[in-house]
Structure 1
Amino acid sequence: MKAPKKLKNNINCHHVGMCQYLKMICLLVSLLQVTLLNAQSVIDLSGTWGFQTDVMDFRRGSLSPRYNHVLQETIKLPGITDDYQIGYKNPYKYIDRLTRKYEYMGPAWYQRDIEIPAAWKGKKIMMYFERTHWLSSIYVDTKEVSSIDYVSVPHNHDLTHFVKPGKTHRITICIDNRFQYNTHKWNHAHTEFTQINWNGILGEMKLMAIDPVFVDDLQVYPNITDNSVKVRLQVNNETKRQVKGMATFTISGKNYNLKDEVVVASTDSVTFIETTIKLGKNIKLWDEFNPNLYQINCQLHTSDGKNTYQHEKAATFGMREVKQGKNHIILNNHPIHLRGNVENAVFPKTGHAPLDDASWERIILLMKDYGMNHLRFHSWCPPAAAFRMADKHGIYFEIEMPMWGKDAEPNEARYNFFRREIKAILKEYGNHPSFVLYCNGNEITGNFDFIEELTAEGRKIDPRHLYSGSTARTRVKSDQYYVSQQTNKGPVKVYEGLPSTNWDKNLESDVDVPVISHESGQRCIYPNFDEIKKYSHSPVEARNFEVFRDLLQKNGMLDQADDFFKASGALTVLEYKAVIEALLRSGKSAGFQLLSMNDFPGQGYAPVGIFDPFWDSKGLVTAEKFREFCAPTVALLRYEKSSYFNSETFKGKAEVYNFSHSAIENAKIRWWLTDASGKVLKKGNLKSQTIANASVSPVGEFEIPLKNISNQKVTVHLAVNENIKNSWDLWVYPIQQQLMQSNEQVLYSKVYDDRVKQQLAQGKTVVLYPSPENVKGRKSMFHNHFWNPIMFAWAPMTIGNLIHHEQAMFKDFTTESHTDWQWWDILNYAKVIEMQNTPQKLRPFIQVIDSYDNNQKLGIGFEAKVNGGKLLVLALDTQTDIDQRPATQQLLHSIHNYVNSDKFSPQESVDESFIQSFLIK
């Protein structure tokens, strides 16, 4: 009995194994069929298309059968018309922006005959463009079937009822890059000032067939308290029949995989389904330090009893929650501080924002390398690739619509456009964990009831972000944060630094919502004319740089162009350090947004960045040096001034800005003072302590007597452990008791009088130091010009100073070729002399750099031969508060030694009439 039973068991086992094997084969076949079906359900539309411009917009109203001809030219898509030199060949040299080589604004037509696969019968047929500019309209044969005017999201046209599977149709697309609504011409989604007003189709473009029951929207709402996500599906049912089925979810990530499912039943054309999925204790949070990402895949399987339908949709998400704190944005229940840059859609290489991952990853990694964790997209929304790379590397985005200025003034058509646009942005990009902040637009004016409507609606639709009505303008009720230069408690803007660091913006930032300092920095750098050649393969050219360069050459100073660039650039780096540190010291500030780390080529051209418009370094500061004062953890030092007499004592108050991922346990804090060679002059330690996270902590004070230091630059260093270091330059001088004493050979005079003339006629030396109020010319300023001198044409229109430091008058005054904080008590007491009418070879030893659209020779101090004598002119107040101006005293001492030496021998001659021309009698 046992033997047959054993045989039977063997047979049963064999049968079960065969069944499993057959099931596996069937499953593989099924998967292969699905794969083939998916492959056949998408037609790539990239490649050659028929093309024709239509600047008069005639064709749109003439698509009759008689007029349905083949377009006469060809073009490759994705691409833009500029790539093919289509449009008006531009002969001009725009001063206020880069010059587009070929300008085209108007409808352009793209055409292809496409066979719709017979297998697509019963399918929903869509034509998808990742990004167009601005209006896209689809014509099938002679009928217009769809028109979409989104700016910020893909265009997805429904062709289902206008094409017949198995038939070839002539598909004609009209892209119209004219302004479809009366919106601000500077918004960065359209403007010629940054990315150009291109015409074309970019990114992914395809024809798709999907089943008539499909997932139109998939949104994921993380709950970090119980490690779950609420999943919200919008299922569209176009069968007009009841369907039932299952939505199966797969959530995957690094070392993580989970499956769940929910029953689906739909009787309407649109059905919303919500389910909560518990993710378990192994799920990880997303933030800038640990950008953990997860993929959710939804497979929809439904049936109406006769037919079965399948559809699949996926999304990337991160486990993160954002909330409004008192002073800070709260991410995952921890305050964060935003160290941000303004992204202005500056892409001269292509003329449009890139849609590939690699281009955006480069920008995101540059931000991380320079210690940043935030990007504000000024009046535009980036494409999906930007979100993907920010998700991957941990950058917090602020997204805006293409709204600026008067766009909130009453205009119902424009209002409806913005109502559609905000909903489309939230639907398309809302799952991305990098999408932390939303703002309607830039510096808006007009009807703020409409702005409140948009802001409140955004908060209602999608609570995964914080919302603000507008940057830098009127507050609205629904604001959860505020980006501005000003609050009701005072200015929070920081545009430039000071020679002291014992100040902050805490009081002004402490209001009812987190405050982010709007467009910080903005100090102008003289253009680098070497950049001109970088535009040879771009749709734009820096012809304004050519104008500026030619003017500098005409004015006889082209050989100094690189010196101007480097000297003004060094000053801008100095300003950025001071600006950023001031905002880091402001513990009640929510953060800052620089304008900007890369140059802004519009609005008059603002070369304010440490990167050029191509995001290439200008060589002014390394990432390593920048991270000393801009990073998750920064050592800070408060002190009263940068220039000292050596009878004084330096007093420093050390602080640590720490918005890293954790507190710093048992931190060892030390300070030391070095001379220019790096030799340690003094050193000491502060008390070891734990430095709290998400705060700015005082960590101790120290003093350094300066009595043994004389006439040199020294540097104070502060370190937390060994990896966090920062430093500040100081200048120490002896007190100069006797200054500007005349003798037989050298006459000091504040006026150009007969005594001066007689001294010069005798071949002797005169130092002329007229009071600034008696000198014609511009005001002297330490800071370089704000933003750019074309848009903001206010006095004095100068961009720092070039110091001819190698010349002998500076032998006893320590300086570099650019101005640093020791120049503060000199330049703020001086006057700028107009010197264009002097000999070309005559260069002032304190040379003021003029605005690049003027390029006049300017100076505060110069020397020349006059009437047989030797003259040194210094347009400087040598009396006011002189006992509190150590650098001024030392400069005057150095000049005195110089003019009394045989080194003083001016080479260029000027007429007495020139001297008299800049003096007020």
Structure 2
Amino acid sequence: MKHRIVKKWLLALGLLAASLPGTARTREVDLSGVWRFQTDVMDFRRGSLSPRYNHPLQDSIVLPGITDDYRIGYESPYRHVDRLTRLYEYMAPAWYQRDIEFPAEWAGKRILLCFERVHWLSSVWVDTREVSRCDYVSVPHVHDLTDFVTPGKTHRITLCIDNRYQYDTHKWDHAHTEFTQINWNGILGEMKLLVMDPVHIDDMQLFPRVADRSVEMRLTVANTTGKPFRGKALVTVSGNGVEVEREFPVSGDGPELRLAGELSLGDDAPLWDEFSPRLYTLRCRLLTQAGPESCEDERSVTFGLREVAQGRNHILLNGHPIHLRGTVENAVFPKTGHAPLGDDEWGRIMSIVREYGLNHVRFHSWCPPRAAFRMADRYGVYLEVEMPMWGKDAEPDSARYDFFRREMRAILKEYGNHPSFLLFCNGNEITGNFDFIEELTASGRALDPRHLFSGSTARTRVPSDQYYVSQQTNKGPVKVYEGRPTTDWDRSAESDVDVPVLSHESGQRCIYPDFREIEKFTGPVRARNFELWREMLEQNGMLDQAYDFFRASGALTVVEYKAVIEALLRSSKSAGFQLLSLNDFPGQGYAPVGVLDPFWDSKGLVTPEEWRSFCAPTVLLLRYPKSSWYEGETFTAKAEVYNFSDSEWKRARIRWSLLDDAGHRLAQGALKTQDIANRGVFPVGELSIPLGKIRGPQRLTLRMEVGETLANSWNLWVFPRNESLMQSDDEVLYTRMFDDEAERRLAAGKTVVLLPSPSRVEGRRSTFHNHFWNPIMFAWAPKTIGCLIHAGNPVFDDFPTSYHTDWQWWDILENARVVDLQDAPRALRPFIQVIDSFDSNRKLGIGFEARVGGGKLLFLAVDTQRKMDERPATRQLLASVDRYVHSDQFNPQVALDGAFVRSFLHQNGKK
């Protein structure tokens, strides 16, 4: 099989070496391009049956790349429901080969073969001799060819990449799963030969010290000459107006030398944080002599002047408390099937993170490539990095344990210099042997104090924890998955434990899929599950409502996110939160929980500017007891300012105004002019607004603002008391039972308003909230995703609502029942239409109208008995229904049989 990639071979790489830029006498030879290729689903190497390195491979492929790009593997006929469908599945060894000329002048050099990202095991042969094997997941693979090649000769270099699971690890971890980034085979990012003098820099780690504005350089020098050497290290630091030069003597007679040196950057050297991500570059030029041989090498590292420490409730950066507003990154990259390796895409992602007011990204059970760290450094984003560890991965298994030990050390060494690398956690929701987790956490702390360490998210604490990401502490829940119609609550007391606590995977409210996204999947995966659900919706007669379902459920999720985030901002003793997530998660059942799609593109539900009004370094907050009010009551609230910006406010004047839907100002005022500190949550005053002159029903907006750019707003509703409700007369019967009297009235051409007790209605539980995460993985009742409100129906003429639910719907929906109307005529569309889960797509409703037996029926499965004096919105909905059914506008067009109505009612305790 030929893969029709390119026809021209490039075999003599030695010809390129002289033209490639070198660092001192170090050469980097680019190995990207065409390689010979062959699959090996039979795994001939393991069976000792003529391994591929014995022969020239017959096909070709371009690297860097993955087998999916060239349609290699099993062409999948499936349409997976619980994830995206990989078009060509390949999980087996694959062989890559190239003939390389090694120039004679490389004699005596150290020659390394380097691949930036490989999945999972790479093995290298020179001709027929195996060089080494490497199974890192999170860091580059490096193979030392020095003792296997002869400069002046051409050698056949053969690689075997095996993307099968090398250890018994969790199949969902995001480093190598089919549920987010695919289980790809290939090589990504930089692939090169690194050619160095025998005395060279092996490693360079930088340890900033904020107190005296200095940086400690810890240098490891490798010596492969077998002879004593001596020389000097010329070190420069530049950036932000700093120019520092130092010279350190070096000498040794062994294979390795460790050198430490300190460089002062000056009292005014700027620090690194989210508001001022100032970066420096340290360059070290190593000049040595080993016997008659002179050696030269150079290494440069970008770093920031910052220190992280554990505070009581908050993480401390440069001595100050910070509050993390984060999202979880789950290796969701459907365009490529793998994490991007370039700065452009990671720069786009980090800029989006900042655009939405966030300052933090957690990498859930995986570690990103270098470009992610580089761009986080540049944009001032704080990162939490994890190993590919999840669930039962801490259960006893010596081989797996050794892998995680090596992986952690490699991550700290490879990425430890990046200032954005603030937090390290072993993995996600781990169970098993927590003595092993404590060992990892304690050893990480000892190895690298530039980060804070935690044993696991959302599971057992270990003694060495310096922070904790969880749904719960020993004081109660710190998670916030959904909002409330009141804002006078928080998770502060529950967060006040002995380490900073981050709310684990907050949000997670499902949005109905936007089937228009199907066309965006042009890479190695397809949204065939979307196709299935779209077909199901069409079969159930509602395909024309698909976009409305998406818009309505999405608008509710935005309402929920605002409530969730503000509750967490009000939690003054919380260290922060991690949303799951800003963008959709297409695995584990497909969870469309984001306001961005899987491609990090906006869904059009909320603008970044609107989002930042409740998620930003500074946010105005209000605590009030309820969202729906009666005329004549007095609205009261306590105002707070969340200010984790880099500056205090001097003589701040916080203004407030109460607006109607037309934008008319009904009331206004200002809080006391005051100074407001930063790095905390601060009470700033109280509001008291008499509602006696405001006539409902109407939606109001309470807006608070400071200056011209900082503002936040909340929707409130004011309703009349509607003392007289559900009064029957000659034309309209209000009833809780579909009995003989109701049918007689209908037969006479009259109107019946049927308001059964929800307990007597066959159907699903009603809830205000969208389903949690996704209905496939968590198939618990009621599996609904908000409501589509047919606001244009005149039944709502006297009830203020949009096409989606907001907090005025809370007491209505929490005291209702959802009826399955799939067997009703297709033309019947309930005016309160509950959106079914996308894996079911049945027509559901709480309220509908129809012609029955010659008369007109309005059905509303809402409780009308319990504590009605405390439910102004429900009373107003009933008042609006009353005016509607007494008007000429009430003229249902769809006919129903009375037997259908009886089919979902329990009459006198019997169905």
Tell me which interval the TM-score lies in, with the shorter structure as reference length: over 0.9
Q: Distance in 2 between matches of 1:198 and 1:261?
A: 46
Q: How far did residue 912 of structure 1 move? A: 1.2
The number of residue pairs the alignment matches comes to 889
Aligned match of 1:18: none
C-alpha distance after superposition, 1:27-55 (max 9, x if no partner): xxxxx999668688222100000001101
State how 1:64-83 maps to structure 2 within 5 Å: 68-83=54-69
Partner secondary structure for residue 221 of structure 1:
strand
Which residue is equivalent to 1:28?
A: none
CA distance in 2 between partners of 1:201 and 1:480 (Å) = 36
Counterpart mapping for 1:318-467 below 5 A: 318-467=304-453
**Shift in alpha-carbon separation, 1:316–1:742, aligned structure 2, 3 A:** same
Give the aligned residue type for 2:834. V
> Structure 1: how far apart are the matches of 2:281 and 2:53?
49
Aligned in 2, Cα 1:34/1:79: closer, same or farther, shift over 3 Å? closer
Q: Give the structure 2 partner of residue 890 of structure 1.
A: 876
**After superposition, where does 1:615-634 map in structure 2 within 5 Å?**
615-634=600-619
Q: What letter corresponds to residue 901 of structure 1 in structure 2?
A: S
Among candidates 851, 862, 885, match of residue 876 of structure 1: 862
> 1:798 and 1:566 mapped to 2: Cα distance?
15
1:866 aligns with 2:852: yes
The alpha-carbon distance between structure 1 residues 764 and 35, as it changes in their structure 2 partners (threshold 3 A), is closer
The reply on whether 1:572 has 2:557 as its aligned counterpart is: yes
**Higher Cα Rg: structure 1 or 2?**
1
Contact 1:334–1:694 (Cα < 8 Å) also in 2: yes
2:807 and 2:268 map into 1 onto residues whose CA distance is: 53
The residue that corresponds to 2:239 in the other structure is: 253
1:41 and 1:120 in contact (8 A); partners too: no
Counterparts in 2 of 1:12-161, with a 5 A limit?
41-59=27-45, 62=48, 68-161=54-147
- Whether contact under 8 Å (2:201, 2:222) holds in the other structure is yes
> Is 1:827 aligned to 2:813, yes or no?
yes
Question: What SS does the corresponding residue of 2:517 show, helix, strand or coil?
Answer: helix
- Matched residue, 1:905: 891
2:648 aligns with 663
Residue 60 of structure 1 and its aligned partner are, at CA, apart by 5.3
Q: Is the 8 A contact 1:63 1:142 kept in 2?
A: no
> 8 Å contact 2:511–2:553 — kept in the other structure?
yes
Q: Deviations over 1:758-817 (max 9, x none)?
A: 101101110011000000000000000000000001000000000000001001111000
* Partners of 2:662 and 2:52 in 1: CA distance: 84
Alpha-carbon displacement from aligned partner over 1:464-514 (angstroms, at most 9, x marks no partner) = 000000000000000000000000000000000001000011100000000
Greater Cα shift, 119-128 or 272-281: 272-281
Calculate percent identity across the aligned residue pairs: 66
Q: Deviations over 1:512-544 (max 9, x none)?
A: 000000000000000000000111x21000000
SS of the equivalent of 2:504 reads strand
Q: CA deviation at 1:723?
A: 2.2
Partner of 2:512: 526
Q: One-letter code of the match for 2:385?
A: I
Post-superposition CA distance 1:726-772 (Å, at most 9, x none):
00000000000110100001011101111011101101110011000
Q: 5+ unaligned residues in a row in structure 2: which ranges?
A: 1-17
Distance (Å, rounded) in 1 between the aligned partners of 2:897 and 2:208? 78
Q: Given the two structures, how large is their TM-score scaled by the length of structure 2?
A: 0.97
The one-letter code sitting in structure 1 at the alignment partner of 2:193 is L
Describe the superposition over 1:371-411 as per-residue Cα deviations: whole angstroms up to 9, x where unpaired.
00000000000000000001011000000000000000000
Equivalent position of 2:587 in the other structure? 602
Tell me, yes or no, if structure 1 residue 644 matches structure 2 residue 629. Answer: yes
Counterparts in 2 of 1:134-213, with a 5 A limit? 134-213=120-199
Shift of 1:208: 1.6
Matched with 1:585 is: 570
In structure 2, the partner of 1:545 is 530
Matched AA of 1:286: W
Are 1:679 and 2:664 matched, yes or no?
yes
Change (3 A) 1:249 1:61: farther
C-alpha RMSD of matched pairs (Å): 1.3
Report if aligned partners of 1:833, 1:859 keep a CA contact under 8 Å in 2: yes
Amino acid at match of 1:731: W
CA distance in 2, matches of 1:772, 1:305: 92
Structure-2 change in CA distance of 1:828 and 1:191 (3 Å): same
Alignment counterpart, residue 730 of structure 1, candidates 716, 721, 735: 716
Shift, 1:722, TM fit: 2.8
Equivalent residues of 2:827, 2:894 under 8 A apart: yes
Cα 1:328–1:388 shift into 2, 3 Å: same
Matched letter for residue 703 of structure 2 = H
**Deviation of 1:67 (Å):** 6.8
Distance 2:253 2:470 in 1: 49
Per-residue CA distance 1:313-342 (angstroms, 9 max, x = gap)? 111110000000000000001100000000
Q: Which position in structure 2 is the counterpart of 1:693?
A: 678
**Alpha-carbon distance, 1:255 to partner:** 2.2
Is the 1:65–1:142 contact (alpha carbons within 8 Å) kept by the matching residues of 2? no
Is 2:796–2:881's contact at 8 Å kept on the other side of the alignment?
yes
Displacement after TM superposition at 1:305 (Å): 2.7
Matched AA of 2:650:
E
Q: Which residues in structure 2 correspond to 1:270-309 (within 5 Å)?
A: 270-309=256-295
Q: Which runs of 5+ in 1 are unaligned?
A: 1-31
Check the 8 A contact 2:330/2:585 in 1, yes or no: yes
**Aligned equivalent of 1:614:** 599
SS at match of 2:896: coil
Aligned residue number for residue 3 of structure 2: none
Residue 759 of structure 1 is matched in structure 2 by 745
Alpha-carbon distance in structure 1 between the residues aligned to 2:320 and 2:23: 47
- Cα deviation digits, residues 350-373 of structure 1 (max 9, x gap): 000000000000000001111000
CA distance in 1, matches of 2:630, 2:22: 82
Contact 1:63 1:143 in 2 (8 A): no
Q: Residues of 2 paired with 1:362 and 1:443: CA distance?
A: 29
Q: What one-letter code is carried by the residue in structure 1 that aligns with 2:74?
A: Y
1:721 CA drift (Å): 2.9
Structure 2 residue 548 is matched with structure 1 residue 563: yes
Give me the whole-angstrom Cα distance separating, in 2, the residues matched to 1:33 and 1:750. Answer: 87
Q: Comparing 298-307 with 406-415, which one deviates more in the overlay?
A: 298-307
Is the CA contact (8 Å cut-off) linking 2:856 and 2:892 kept in structure 1? Answer: yes
Q: Distance in 2 between matches of 1:742 and 1:34?
A: 90
Q: Of Structure 1 and Structure 2, which has the larger fraction of its residues in helix? A: 1
Contact 1:64 1:142 (8 Å CA) reproduced: no
The answer to whether the 8 A contact 2:122-2:162 is kept is yes
2-structure distance, mates of 1:155, 1:511: 41
Task: State the TM-score, normalizing by the size of structure 1.
Answer: 0.95
Q: Could you tell me whether the CA contact under 8 Å between 2:23 and 2:297 is conserved in 1?
A: no
Alignment partners' CA distance in 2, 1:275 and 1:37:
22
Aligned to 1:27: none
**AA in 1 matched with 2:467:** Y
User: Aligned residue for 1:21?
Assistant: none
CA gap 1:35/1:496 in 2 versus in 1, 3 angstroms:
closer
Q: Whole-Å Cα distance in 1 between the matches of residues 443 and 503 of structure 2? A: 25
